[in-house]
Amino acid sequence: MFQKLDNNNDKNLRFMMISASVLIGLFIYLSLKSDNLIEYRSYFLGTIFVLVLIGLIFYLNKYKEKVGAMIFSNKLQTELENMAKEPQKEIFSQISSNSQIEPITSHIKFSDIAGIESIKEELEEIVDFLNNPKKYTSFGVTLPKGVLLVGPPGVGKTLIARAVAGEADVPFFYQSGASFVHIYVGMGAVRVKELFLKAKSMAPAIIFIDEIDAVGKSRSGGNNDEREATLNELLTQMDGFDGQNGVIVIAATNKIEVLDEALLRAGRFDRRVFLSLPSLSDRIKILKLYTKNKNIVFDIEKLASETSGFNSAALATLINEALLNMIKRGDVSLVEEDINRAKQKVQFGKKQLNILCETQKDTLATYQACKGFIIQKKVSLFDDGISDELCEYPSKSELISKIKGYLAGSVGVEIFKNEPYAVFPNELAKAKEIANDMVEKFGMEKESKDILEKAKAELRVILSSNHEEIERLKKMMIKDEVIVF
């Protein structure tokens, strides 16, 4: 379509140049042959006109692309709007010839990914549905329309989506959220429509949208018409299939809090899978996978213990850097020296990744042990926040319990370390937010500061009187990096 517009621009420009040349030739001919009939003023104005015309022609020829885009932008917009009104089959026939959206065949399996056992369980039934749809449709069961993978960068969200496609052996359509945002209003919506049409034509298939927050942010009434038009089209397309046509949308984000509520409601992203940084046991499995079929002369469990806070991508980088150092030494065995060199590069080099020292790990373990003791729920070493959300109509006691859960870690560290520490400041902010809501929205108290101080005072009493139990939980956290109640 864009090529067609460019060809029209060139044709129109050539026509203008030919017309101007004819006019110039005609004017010169009349000037030479009929000089006595042309008045002085007319001759002077004609000369200026010809010079301006020549200058305009040279300008148009030099900046034809910029001028053409300016002239035909309205025409392009009109064509896009007309396309949006046409039936889906006609649109598909128009855009498929120049399509840049093509599926890939994923060869990645769940066995190629380590440390995601709990995630595998949630996704295996989706794989089974794609492989054996009649097993479910005979009972009226429909496939979840969308699965949202939520987790920090580097934990393997894209890899997991590819593994689902690989296990199911179906076409995998990969798109990043940013690829839907275009300079021309409407192009993102057209791209979304094309993506879903192609997936439906090749069903069963998986659509994977990476960094969906780039296009799915909450609509705030701003002027970004292109992003909102694209989001509206995405919502429409997700409503347009019934879960039995074998197309499933998997999206990934590390900022679920910024997503539009319409995306998160039931019937769109029906299932959410939360990924966290790998625990100690997960890191051991990941390192064993990355060092498979390699001659290693170092303690993997020790390395896993020393790499608290590493995601799977960082562990892959660490092993890769160690292998590069091994090759540089001219050896065929991966030794402790290679690992130490690799850790220095990762921690202090270009890739800069913080490696927790024993003191930092002890502080973090104390924080999480105190939080776990108060909320009595599963807590991992790097858990940031509390997973359970408030119910629709919370009571005052429920809100205060939630505040205590967010404050417990900070209060506990201050008690056991004899001074305040800055650990997960967002949890303090969340506690303040709930306290402010209790005052301003619900009218339960007069001052949010009083709510927070009272909660802290009660926590100090509870945590101080359970010193031994918290020490036990802390040791468990340091050893396994997870506490399960």
Which pLDDT tens digit goes with each residue over 467-485? 999 999 999 998 888 888 8
Structurally, what CATH architecture does the domain formed by 358-483 represent? Up-down Bundle (1.20)
Contacts of range 346-351, beta carbons closer than 8 Å, 24 or more positions apart: 346/314, 346/317, 346/318, 346/321, 351/314, 351/317
How does DSSP classify residue 241?
-
**Per-residue CA distances from 379 to 37, 369, 383, 463 (Å):** 99, 8, 6, 17
In this structure, which CATH number among 3.40.50.300, 3.40.50.620, 1.25.40.10, 1.20.120.1200 belongs to the domain 110-274? 3.40.50.300
Residue 406 has pLDDT above 70, yes or no: yes
Residue type at 25 in one-letter notation: G
The mean pLDDT of 241-252, rounded to a whole number, is: 76
- Rg (the chain; Cα; Å): 32
Question: What local confidence, expressed as pLDDT, does residue 106 receive?
Answer: 87
pLDDT at 349 over 60: no
For β-strands 146-150 and 271-274, DSSP reports them as parallel
* CA distance linking residue 386 with residue 183, whole number of Å: 39
According to the model, what pLDDT value does residue 416 have? 94
**How far is it, in rounded angstroms, from Cα 75 to Cα 62?**
22
Check residue 88 and give its pLDDT: 42
CA dihedral 328, 329, 331, 336 (to 10 degrees): -110
Provide the pLDDT for residue 225: 66
Residue 42: the pLDDT is 59
The closest of 64, 93, 91, 65 to 79, measured between CA atoms, is 91
pLDDT of amino acid 96:
46
CB 438 within 8 A of CB 444: yes
What is the CATH T-level fold of the domain 280-348, as seen in this structure? Helicase, Ruva Protein; domain 3 (1.10.8)
Instruction: Dump pLDDT digits (tens) for 418-476.
Output: 999 999 999 999 999 999 999 999 999 999 999 999 999 999 999 999 999 999 999 99
- By the 10 Å C-beta count (0-12 exposed, 13-18 middle, 19+ buried), 295 is classed as exposed
Grade residue 83 by pLDDT with cuts at 50, 70 and 90. very low
Which of these ranges, 4-18, 258-272, 404-418, has the smallest mean pLDDT?
A: 4-18
| Mean pLDDT for the chain overall | 79
- At 267 the pLDDT is 78
The end-to-end CA distance of the chain, in Å, is 60
Question: Among 73-77, 172-176, 313-317, which is the least confidently predicted range?
Answer: 73-77
Average pLDDT over every residue of 409-418? 94
Whether the bond between 204 and the residue before it is cis, its omega within 30 degrees of 0, is yes
Phi/psi at 352 (5° precision): 30, 100
Alpha carbons 186 and 192: distance in angstroms, whole number: 10
Burial of 167-191, coded b for 16+ CB within 10 Å and e otherwise, reads: bbebbbbbbbbebbbeeebbbbbbb
Q: What does the alpha-carbon distance between residue 370 and residue 473 come to, in Å, rounded to a whole number?
A: 8
166-225 confidence digits (pLDDT tens): 998 889 998 887 777 654 456 778 888 888 888 888 888 899 998 888 888 877 655 556
- Rounded CA-CA distance 365/367 in Å is 5
B/e letters for 31-61, b = 16+ CB within 10 Å, e = fewer, are eeeeeeeeeeeeeeeeeeebeebeeebeebe
**Local confidence band at 89 (pLDDT 50, 70, 90 cut-offs):** very low
**Model confidence, pTM:** 0.67
